[in-house]
């Protein structure tokens, strides 16, 4: 026997038993985004590698070691499966000149790809909902993003998700801070791991993002960017906080929050839970005023965030949440030659009326068909036997309550099913 082919490690099948949960989540997301006036955008899954290198930054975990990059055999171009959505979204907005007259509030949802070590809550193909507001400079937009995520947790009934915020200041703030930080790190070379030593000069802020337990004390004691901000940075951060306070959104300031990507400035935030082990960040984002120019557009301010769908669904499941199931209205079973011929057009007629009907396929005895009707979850069985076929009628049998079955015309059955 040939060996069975398996899915790629870290890339999951989402099986029918989870379909209702995903559908519920996606519907909730769409309603929630509509409530804030965000418009959907859908980008390709593959982009030129240079887009991600330019947007995310060469010296980041994602670009250094997590991207699925390959050469297009037809033309030798280097292509990459998107590891995140912001770069593609901004690329699409610039390519189609969407910022020409108006700022944009956009969202997308879809698979992202990162070559990481798979573990609970960390996969190689995972899904994000991403939200990007392009062309907005003020702290009101940063606050809107945080407020809207807080509302989503309420809509989903999730609690215990804690908000952490920080500011990365302006470019000049970071140039000043960089010097201080490099100086500090140079004095502790013995504690730095290999990654940190390599990044210390190219991208020292990234060192603060390290999860290496042996370096946590060093990181904790590092000089803080927050202590060294200019007035504009402080004002923006203060205003975001004032809006959060007046909306009653609790937050913690985490001076170590620097985010894994290069493109952030000013506000950064993460929503974190302790319920998912080490993979506790369910949503992360911030302001990235430099990105649009960095990938070739006319400078424009922007901010956004992305959430990990698998992590949020794991929280819902952990809560014992049961998504509303899609229940078929009827399971149509049929025994006998005339009945078999009649069944398919009857099912179609019922669907014309907007009903959800499972047509039994594959033959079998009345008893075995009845079992399948029961297992299908349908509210009613519709039965066509020789007698019904001869009369051009059906028998309607309630499956979820104790009530008599009854013979009727197809029209009457449709009427009845439509009204229960």
User: Which residues of the chain form contacts with ligand ATP (CB under 6 A)?
Assistant: 84, 114, 116, 121-123, 126, 128, 260, 279, 281-284, 306-308, 310-311
Per-position b or e across 323-336, b if 16+ CB within 10 A of its CB: beeeebbbbbbbbb
* 403 touches 397 (CB < 8 A): no
Least Å distance between CB 290 and ligand ATP?
17
Phi, psi of 28 (to 5 degrees): -60, -45
- Can you list the pairs that 191-194 forms with residues at least 24 positions away whose Cβ atoms lie under 8 Å? 191/215, 191/217, 191/218, 192/218
Sheet strands side by side (includes 39-40): 39-40, 104-113, 125-134, 302-308, 281-287, 265-272, 162-167, 252-253
Helix, strand or coil, per DSSP, at residue 126 = strand
* 51 touches 91 (CB < 8 A): yes
What are the CA-CA distances from residue 105 to residues 132, 143, 234, 303, 333 (Å)?
A: 6, 14, 25, 10, 50
Cα–Cα distance measured from residue 210 to residue 413, given in angstroms and rounded to the nearest whole number: 64
CB nearest ligand ATP: which residue? 308
Closest CB to ligand ATP among residues 82, 114: 114
Closest CB to ligand ATP among residues 150, 283: 283
- Can you list the pairs that 11-17 forms with residues at least 24 positions away whose Cβ atoms lie under 8 Å? 11/123, 11/124, 11/125, 12/123, 12/125, 12/310
Least Å distance between CB 375 and ligand ATP?
34
Closest CB to ligand ATP among residues 127, 334: 127
Least Å distance between CB 278 and ligand ATP?
8
Closest CB to ligand ATP among residues 103, 260: 260
Cα–Cα distance measured from residue 60 to residue 230, given in angstroms and rounded to the nearest whole number: 26
Cα–Cα distance measured from residue 326 to residue 399, given in angstroms and rounded to the nearest whole number: 16
Least Å distance between CB 34 and ligand ATP?
22
Least Å distance between CB 121 and ligand ATP?
6
Other beta carbons within 10 angstroms of residue 154's beta carbon come to: 10
Least Å distance between CB 161 and ligand ATP?
11
Closest CB to ligand ATP among residues 61, 388: 61
Closest CB to ligand ATP among residues 124, 334: 124
Closest CB to ligand ATP among residues 288, 331: 288
Least Å distance between CB 33 and ligand ATP?
17
Closest CB to ligand ATP among residues 26, 239: 26
Least Å distance between CB 308 and ligand ATP?
2
* 416 touches 408 (CB < 8 A): yes
What pairing do the DSSP bridges indicate for beta strands 46-48 and 78-81?
A: antiparallel
């Amino acid at each position: 026997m040939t060996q069975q082919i398996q899915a790629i490690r870290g890339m999951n099948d989402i099986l029918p038993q989870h379909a209702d949960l995903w559908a519920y989540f996606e519907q909730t997301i769409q309603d929630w985004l509509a409530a804030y006036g965000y418009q959907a955008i859908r980008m390709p899954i593959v982009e030129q590698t240079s887009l991600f290198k330019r947007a995310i930054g060469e010296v980041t975990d994602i670009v250094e070691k997590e991207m699925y990059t390959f050469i297009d055999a037809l033309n030798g171009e280097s292509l990459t499966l998107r590891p995140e959505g912001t770069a593609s979204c901004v690329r699409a907005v610039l390519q189609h000149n969407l910022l020409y007259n108006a700022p944009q509030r956009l969202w997308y949802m879809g698979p992202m790809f990162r070559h990481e070590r798979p573990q609970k809550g960390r996969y190689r193909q995972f899904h994000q909902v991403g939200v990007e507001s392009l062309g907005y400079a003020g702290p009101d937009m940063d606050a809107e993003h945080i407020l809207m995520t807080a509302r989503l947790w309420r809509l989903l009934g999730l609690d215990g998700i804690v908000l952490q915020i920080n500011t990365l200041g302006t470019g000049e703030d970071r140039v000043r801070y960089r010097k201080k930080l490099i100086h500090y790190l140079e004095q502790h070379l013995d504690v730095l791991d290999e990654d940190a030593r390599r990044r210390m000069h190219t991208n020292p802020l990234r060192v603060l993002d390290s999860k290496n337990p042996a370096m946590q004390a060093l990181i904790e004691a590092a000089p803080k960017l927050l202590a060294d901000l200019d007035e504009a940075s402080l004002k923006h951060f203060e205003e975001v906080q004032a809006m959060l306070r007046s909306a009653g959104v609790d937050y913690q300031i985490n001076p170590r929050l620097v985010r894994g990507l290069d493109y952030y400035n000013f506000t950064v935030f993460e929503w974190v839970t302790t319920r998912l082990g080490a993979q506790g960040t369910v949503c992360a984002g911030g302001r990235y005023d430099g990105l649009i120019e960095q990938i070739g557009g006319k400078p424009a301010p922007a901010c956004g965030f992305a959430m990990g769908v698998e992590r949020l669904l794991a929280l819902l499941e952990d809560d014992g949440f049961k998504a509303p199931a899609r229940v078929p209205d009827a399971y149509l079973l049929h025994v006998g030659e005339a009945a078999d011929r009649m069944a398919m057009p009857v099912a179609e007629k019922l669907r014309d009326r907007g009903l959800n009907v499972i047509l039994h396929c594959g033959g079998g005895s009345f008893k075995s068909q009845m079992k399948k009707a029961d297992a299908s979850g349908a509210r009613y069985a519709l039965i066509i036997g020789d007698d019904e076929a001869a009369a051009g009628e059906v028998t309607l049998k309630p499956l979820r309550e104790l009530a008599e079955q009854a013979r009727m015309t197809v029209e009457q059955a449709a009427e009845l099913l439509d009204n229960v």
